[in-house]
Structure 1
């Protein structure tokens, strides 16, 4: 049957059968500007070599898109496809399937709350790179990026002003009891779409918790931080507000737990949450 008439869950089967031209026809114009038909056919045929079948590993709703990942029978290759609501393919990635199982099995000794007040959306989070782009970087592997969303969008009106983003100015709180060990403030919030790679975390607060675990709360709003180095903080205490500073393209909170106060050399630790639920990309979290 024509690919345009199938449900997205059947993509793995269609791809394995070699119907690459049909698949290409339902990719977006932007995708076709990046990859020609002949390139797509050659890459896909090569990727299929040695594969008997693909299994749907997971799917989730991601703003106004549906995100699917298929894994081959040897669990060595992954196909990530992003469909819009009309089942047009907006993104398609063929990559090795990488899992860091040793670190996946190590959890924080402490239990934490998600360090926000109100309702927030998990933009990046999970234990593979398709749900969480941080996953391939040891120092950020189990990080979360959170935004606020209404009607499938993280902003109202135009996306060029920070004030139009629902997350901008949102209350950020301590994820557990601890002592503030590092504060950086005073950096200007970026114009949305622009980034500051020279200062990756932007304005941030680092808190030392029990068992030598450290939380990082990054990309905070300029001059919003309400704590200083040496302060003892309680779980749920406000430490600042969400901004768009540092290596950030839109207002959001970056949060992770690590085993050191060294941002570059510390290792990210998979988080145990106080409520027993580990959110992933596409989930909504809420704290009063």
Structure 2
């Protein structure tokens, strides 16, 4: 499931961009959770309240009165907030440290002069309005590739006596017991402190949150039952009732995506043999 936010102050354009984003993910059979926001307040609140944000499509210039911004905004936006008549998504991305959180940003604007300033922050693409489906598809392709690369990086796990870098592919599942996390890798269990949601944000989309206390790597799932997952090791992981449908959808989408990759590889091998 890819978590996407569209930030656009114009109601018509926000709906147009949202439809184009939905069309992109539907055509590729990728599950997408889409939120449509209209101003700085809503993005600040969203970023503060959620552990998961993968992709932001943001209008650069937000037509919003300074007095209408929440009291937290001046602290969030820093000195630049006081110097500008309008609020810029570039400032929001910078102050909320979205790039540092691994969020892939696509800027959209009708003003070419912001192209250079956009490079003050990490971003996947910069599009000029009006945008069409082909241009947005190109930008989303770039964002998804960058997202996959960032999520394949090793994860730092601090145990009581050392700091370990572990590749996501080596993690079978993570179990949470209050503030203690048991990270089950192929040959051992690493114990650390933290929130499961933090790792859910860091790890790639092959991991599914099937229970409030379990995050599972779908590469290691051998069977799916109504109330549990069976891993290749024979271990069973519970599925909570509230997450049953989302877990089923995630596994189905993952299986289809894996099948497409294998098919493409098979076609390449066939062409080489020919």
| TM-score class normalised by the smaller sequence | under 0.3
Q: Which has the higher contact order (CA 8 A, sep 6+)?
A: 1
Instruction: Answer 1 or 2: which has greater helix percent.
Output: 2
Q: TM-score, normalised by structure 1?
A: 0.24
